[in-house]
Structure 1
């Protein structure tokens, strides 16, 4: 076995791990009552980029928050390679999984109705930098609302 074959086998193994690693919804469908530790002071109604994702607090009335969460669910499910992982608009919290096109890296976005409106946290599963992918997706979804 030469070095190139070994490298290809390692690459294929990594790809299989990323695509086939099981997802436990309880790990990702978490209460957003606590802000991510990387977020010192969020900007209301603006998307804040984090090292591993993005975060926003939308200030909405309770009725607006419920309607916005339902619309966001429709938008998310219309996004390629995105599925609902857990929750529903009726329960007040939804988590979606979106996979990247080539590698199939999973990202998770949770939206939850809060006392102030709607909080949304998009983050990656693997790695420490998402290169702005979650920020771009979250901004795109919000622009379409």
Structure 2
């Protein structure tokens, strides 16, 4: 019985430490970089993420509208830039474990680019695609 309690206590400590690391570890600033990532209009699934590009008459105005939608998303925080700058980065955390996903939105010429990707692991289980497509649908893009 004593061994079972010790194993359970160690397991709880390991899970707690992993959760703390996921929630508190700083995110490498390179995760917010967008240089060279702009794509032609379309949708682009990626390993662990998703990118979409839309050619628009006024991408800056659409980015400002999209920023309001993103800012209203649960567990999402802007961590870099602003819509007025034409570049913004956000972190959205999962409800249970707090896994971070980084989303960058930027204006590139006449296009609006949005890219979301995981920070930990290899598969986001389609979460970034669903989130980005939901935001774009809500913005009418």
How would you bin the TM-score normalised by the shorter chain?
Answer: 0.7 to 0.9
Q: Do the aligned partners of 1:32 and 1:119 also contact (CA within 8 Å) in 2?
A: no
In the alignment, the residues of structure 2 paired with residue 50 and residue 86 of structure 1 have an alpha-carbon distance, to the nearest angstrom, of: 22
Q: Do the aligned partners of 1:107 and 1:125 also contact (CA within 8 Å) in 2?
A: yes
Q: Do the aligned partners of 1:95 and 1:108 also contact (CA within 8 Å) in 2?
A: yes
1:8 to 5, 12, 19: 12
CA deviations 1:95-128 (Å, max 9, x no partner) are 0110100101111100110124111110011001
TM-score, with normalisation over the residues of structure 1? 0.85
In the alignment, the residues of structure 2 paired with residue 43 and residue 143 of structure 1 have an alpha-carbon distance, to the nearest angstrom, of: 19
Give the 3-state SS of the residue equivalent to 2:16 in structure 1.
helix
Counterpart of 1:28?
A: 31
Asked if 1:55 is matched to 2:27, the reply is: no
Structure 2 residues not aligned, in runs of 5+ = none
| Cα distance, 1:43 vs structure 2 | 7.2
Q: Do the aligned partners of 1:28 and 1:95 also contact (CA within 8 Å) in 2?
A: no
User: What does 1:1-145 align with in structure 2 at a 5 Å threshold?
Assistant: 2-24=6-28, 26-34=29-37, 44-45=41-42, 47-61=43-57, 64-145=58-139
How many residue pairs align between the two structures? 135
Aligned CA RMSD, in angstroms, stands at 1.7
Structure 1 residues not aligned, in runs of 5+ = 36-41
CA deviations 1:52-101 (Å, max 9, x no partner) are 1100111113xx20011101110001000001110111211010110100
Give the 3-state SS of the residue equivalent to 2:88 in structure 1.
strand
Pair 1:72–1:111, CA change in 2 (3 A): same
Q: Considering only CA atoms, is the larger Rg found in Structure 1 or Structure 2?
A: 2
TM-score, with normalisation over the residues of structure 2? 0.87
